Structure 1
Amino acid sequence: MISSAARAAAGQLFSPEFRSVFIKTLGLTLLALVALWFGLTSLVEWLALPWLHALLPGMPSWAGWLGGIIAAIALAFGMALLIAPVTAIVAGLFLDDIAEVVERIDYPGDPAGRAMPALRSLVLSARFLGVVILGNIVALLLLLVPGVNIAAFFIVNGYLLGREFFEFAAMRFRPEEEARALRRHYAGTVFLAGLVISAFLAVPLLNLVTPLFAAAMMVHLHKAIGAREASRVSRG
């Protein structure tokens, strides 16, 4: 079920039907990451560098260059941790567009899902952003523990991204509480699907289209779970 959903989503990533959504998703993700980079670098220049010069007034010029390199590495590392929340926000904006394409192409005989109201989508995205940032702070702290660091990245993001993308897909067809209950019932499956998304997220360049892949994958997964639930009810 997970592998078939992942294959279907990967096969649709660069299809003509996905092109407009792909361009919008990639463009906004890149724009957000660039804005974050400039914001963080400006913050470092405004706060950290003056403090460093005041602390070490006789600091040689080469030390300033070294400090700049260290700061750039730290910022790049911070940006890597911010990819997950950025992709979550972008997905919140375009999940319905992605879902509509998947449903129209792969499930033409099924009832169409209903788009989430814009305000509700923004509220859920903002709430999830806080959860993802908190989770990645925990993962960052665990990076200091040998043997746990890589696993922490996948476990934290696997759980959070799997939960968010699945609930978004499910809420196109179900009330919010029912979508959450379904996710909890299939928690293991959703978590494993989230690990696939985390693996996708860990690949440079491909991580920029994580929202597109994750949303399409979870639409397929929700359809498969829905079919299983319907079959179980009919047998019962």
Structure 2
Amino acid sequence: MILDAARAAASKLFTAEFRTVFFKTIGITLLALAALWFGLHQAFDALALPWIDALLPGFPSWAGWLSLIAAILAGIGLALGLALLIAPVTAVIAGLFLDDVAELVERSDYPNDRPGRAVPTIPALIMSLKFFGIVVLGNLFALLLLLVPGVNIGAFFVVNGYLLGREFFEFAAMRFRTETEAKALRRKYAGTVFMAGLVIAAFLAVPLLNLLTPLFAAAMMVHLHKMVSVREGA
């Protein structure tokens, strides 16, 4: 069931409809990161550089060199920081388009079924921010376990498998059920949902491909929820 859902989701990733959603997501992400870069760069120029000049008032040439070095180091740090933020920020932005992905899957693969209800924009944004927050906290915990030999890779998969499986399955279920019903169904099939989350975590671990993780996860969980619903007779 899990592998069938994963294969069905993967087969859609590079279709024209999915590419459209992906390009919108990446475009907004890059604009957001560019705005963040500009804001942080301006803040550094306004705060750090005058502080360096004031620190060495009698040595303007030294202050100039220190300012230049500090600006270069800050630029490198910002670039590295923003590179690390691409995937999580993409996840937040993609959260606004998950219903588009779900509708594409439902329309193409389940045309005779009742269509799901889109999650309103504000709750969808809240869900995206919540997802971002718990994934960041979960991975900080996993990073702490890097100090413990033999468990670091396992920690990454366990933490992300649980969090990703839970959030994306509940998203797919809430298109057809209340939040309470979706959580109850997820708990009933906790093992299946966790194993599906491990597949998503493996997808997340692949550089560049991980930018597609939210779209892949949403499509996969739509399929998994449909399969679980058949078992439930719903």
TM range (shorter): 0.7 to 0.9
- Give the TM-score taking structure 2 as reference length: 0.79
Partner of 1:97: 100
Give the CA deviation at 1:199.
Answer: 1.3
Q: Is the 8 A contact 1:25 1:209 kept in 2?
A: no
Q: Which has the larger radius of gyration?
A: 2
Q: 2:219 aligns with which of 203, 216, 220?
A: 216
The answer to whether structure 1 residue 192 and structure 2 residue 227 are counterparts is no
Give the CA deviation at 1:31.
Answer: 4.0
Taking a change above 3 Å as real, the CA distance of residues 201 and 40 of structure 1, as seen in their structure-2 partners, is farther
Give the CA deviation at 1:100.
Answer: 0.6
Q: CA RMSD in A?
A: 3.4
Taking a change above 3 Å as real, the CA distance of residues 73 and 110 of structure 1, as seen in their structure-2 partners, is same
The answer to whether structure 1 residue 23 and structure 2 residue 26 are counterparts is no
Taking a change above 3 Å as real, the CA distance of residues 37 and 193 of structure 1, as seen in their structure-2 partners, is farther
Q: 1:205 aligns with which of 203, 208, 216?
A: 208
Taking a change above 3 Å as real, the CA distance of residues 204 and 9 of structure 1, as seen in their structure-2 partners, is same
Give per-residue Cα distances to partners, 1:30-50, cap 9 Å, x unaligned: 444555666677788888999
Taking a change above 3 Å as real, the CA distance of residues 190 and 125 of structure 1, as seen in their structure-2 partners, is same
Q: Is the 8 A contact 2:87 2:211 kept in 1?
A: no
Q: Which amino acid aligns with 1:217?
A: M
Q: Which runs of 5+ in 1 are unaligned?
A: 232-236
Give the CA deviation at 1:123.
Answer: 2.1
Partner of 1:2: 2
**Larger deviation, residues 167-176 vs 194-203:** 194-203
Q: Which runs of 5+ in 2 are unaligned?
A: 56-61
- Give the TM-score taking structure 1 as reference length: 0.78
Give the CA deviation at 1:129.
Answer: 2.5
The correspondence of residues 1-236 of structure 1 with structure 2, limited to 5 A, is 1-32=1-32, 72=76, 76=80, 79-80=83-84, 82=85, 85-230=88-233
